[in-house]
Amino acid sequence: MKYFVYAIKSEVDGRIYVGFSENVQNRIKEHNSGKTKSTKGYRPWNLFFTLECESRKEAREKEKYYKSGIGKEKLKIMVP
């Protein structure tokens, strides 16, 4: 089973949220419909980064990296 690490950007204030999921499109819909408590107040969200991983473990490790200071800085460079 494939997992994906993703990053989304809030149209409200430009904040970046990083997560991982098996189905990124469904997950983005959940963020934008208000089903995710931590992102509810900053909708709408736009997807700008995905990374395919071979396992849940790998996806979790990559997610932790992109949530870190250095990982977030790399994502900020990619933001459109």
| C-alpha to C-alpha distance for 63 and 6, rounded to whole angstroms | 8
Total-model pTM: 0.95
Q: Which amino acid is at 39?
A: T
Domain regions of the chain by residue span: 3-78
pLDDT digits (tens, 9 = 90+) for 48-79: 999 999 999 999 999 999 999 999 999 999 98
Per-residue buried b or exposed e for 16-55, using 16+ beta carbons within 10 Å of the residue's own CB:
bbbbbbeebeebbeebbeeeeeebeebeebeeebebebee
- In this prediction, residue 19 has a pLDDT band, given cuts at 50, 70 and 90, of very high
CATH number for the segment(s) 3-78 = 3.40.1440.10
> Does residue 80 have a pLDDT over 90?
no
Q: Is the pLDDT of residue 14 over 90?
A: yes
